[in-house]
């Protein structure tokens, strides 16, 4: 009987190990020279972050931060298409439908990771080559250096799926110049290539094919300071001529963006867009009309409040909002319409901005007592 039990334990142990090696492959954590290198390795899922990846990356960053032999941290994605297309939304949706605690655990883990990156004492270099959206923005934008390429596609498309631009979006978006952040957050507008740099989201711009050489040079730096790393990135950046002459895609619209998106309420933004009547304004109106009215109202307030908060306060606020969205209707409906059935016609509840009451919005921002996010 005892032997059978032992055998069972051995089998279980073995299963656990094989499971670990499978999931370990989803993210590679390697020490190369003086650099800790994080490689997001789910190319088929466009390197979307799941909880097991988050739970491996977080302690590793904390360890490297304390290690005197680690001088910088590099994060990148595999597969050539995406740096990281976001969080594992499908898993969260499934969990939310059955009341699984993944809907708490995922956001707690993700936001703690965002904070660890935002407070990391070691220089943190994100190579944001390819699609960089949602959760992918969260593991890059709060670091010291973000290197975009001609293949980078940035977006915070959450209002289209009944969510809001989280992962610290309430911190970095309102800090972009003018009202660009508000515009990006509410419309989910995509920025490509050099525009990601011009908007202030990336710090450097380098050809995609030069990234392996850049990474090699970063790893080869001898006990580098932040200045030395900046110098190396600058030297690559200066040599990159792709789209150098091209004007920022939003330049011609900046005046309109700054005036139209400076309103205090969503209803007012919509009114201003209608009054403006230009092709640009009408296009934004059309986009906004497709988004979840609840998400739009939560997002506008998130950014307005986040503008004067610390990253930690923002993440705490966003955790409250995430849990409100998990209890609501629009997130599940948005994921169904955009990611699962792909019919692109979500039925939002409520379906109009006017029907989303201030009282409802206030409730979403209320503290959760013992259940608040602890950083």
Verify whether residue 166 is a known catalytic residue. Answer: yes
**Contact between residue 83 and residue 130 where contact means Cβ atoms under 8 Å apart:** yes
In whole angstroms, what is the distance from residue 166 CA to residue 366 CA?
Answer: 17
Given 26, 166, 318, 330, which residue is catalytic? 166
CA distance 126 to 146: 5
| Beta carbons within 8 Å of 274's beta carbon, 6+ residues apart | 281, 285
Catalytic residue among 158, 195, 215, 330: 158
| Residue 375: closest CA among 327, 314, 292 | 314
Q: b/e for 217-251, b at 16 or more Cβ within 10 A? A: ebbebeebeeebbbebbeebbeebeeeeeeeebbe
158 is catalytic: yes
Contact 195, 155 (CB under 8 A): no
Q: Which of 36, 130, 134, 135 is catalytic?
A: 135
CA distance 133 to 189: 11
Catalytic: which of 36, 77, 86, 87? 87
In angstroms, the CA 162 to CA 293 distance is 8
Enumerate the active-site residues. Answer: 87, 135, 158, 166
């Amino acid at each position: 009987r005892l032997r059978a039990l032992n055998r069972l334990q051995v089998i279980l142990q073995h299963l656990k190990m094989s499971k670990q090696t499978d999931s370990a492959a989803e993210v590679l954590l390697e020490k190369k020279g003086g650099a800790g290198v994080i490689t997001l390795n789910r190319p088929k899922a466009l390197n979307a972050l799941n909880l097991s990846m988050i739970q491996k990356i977080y302690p590793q960053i904390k360890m490297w931060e304390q290690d005197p032999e680690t001088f910088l941290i590099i994060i990148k994605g595999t597969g050539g298409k995406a740096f990281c297309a976001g969080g594992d939304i499908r898993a969260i949706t499934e969990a939310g439908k059955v009341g699984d605690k993944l809907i708490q655990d995922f956001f707690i883990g993700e936001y703690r990771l965002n904070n660890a990156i935002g407070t990391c004492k070691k220089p943190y270099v994100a190579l944001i080559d390819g699609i960089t959206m949602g959760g992918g923005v969260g593991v890059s934008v709060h670091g010291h250096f973000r290197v975009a390429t001609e293949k980078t596609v940035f977006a915070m498309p959450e209002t289209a799926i009944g969510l809001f631009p989280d992962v610290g979006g309430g911190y970095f978006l309102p800090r972009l110049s003018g009202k660009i952040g508000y515009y990006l957050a509410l419309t989910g507008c995509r920025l490509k290539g050099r525009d990601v740099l011009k908007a202030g989201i990336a710090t450097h711009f380098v050809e995609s094919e030069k990234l392996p050489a850049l990474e090699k040079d970063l790893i080869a730096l001898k006990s580098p300071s932040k200045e030395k790393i900046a110098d190396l990135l600058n030297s690559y950046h200066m040599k990159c001529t792709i789209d150098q002459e091209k004007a920022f895609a939003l330049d011609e619209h900046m005046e309109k963006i700054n005036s139209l998106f400076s309103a205090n309420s969503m209803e007012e933004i919509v009114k201003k867009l209608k009054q403006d009547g230009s092709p640009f304004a009408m296009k934004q109106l059309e986009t906004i009309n497709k988004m979840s009215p609840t998400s739009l109202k939560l997002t506008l307030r998130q950014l307005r409040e986040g503008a004067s908060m610390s990253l930690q306060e923002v993440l705490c606020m966003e955790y409250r909002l995430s849990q409100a969205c998990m209890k609501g209707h629009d997130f599940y409906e948005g994921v169904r319409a955009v990611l699962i059935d792909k019919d692109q016609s979500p039925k939002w509840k409520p379906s109009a901005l006017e029907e989303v009451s201030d009282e409802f919005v206030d409730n979403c921002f209320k503290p959760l007592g013992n259940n608040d996010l602890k950083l």
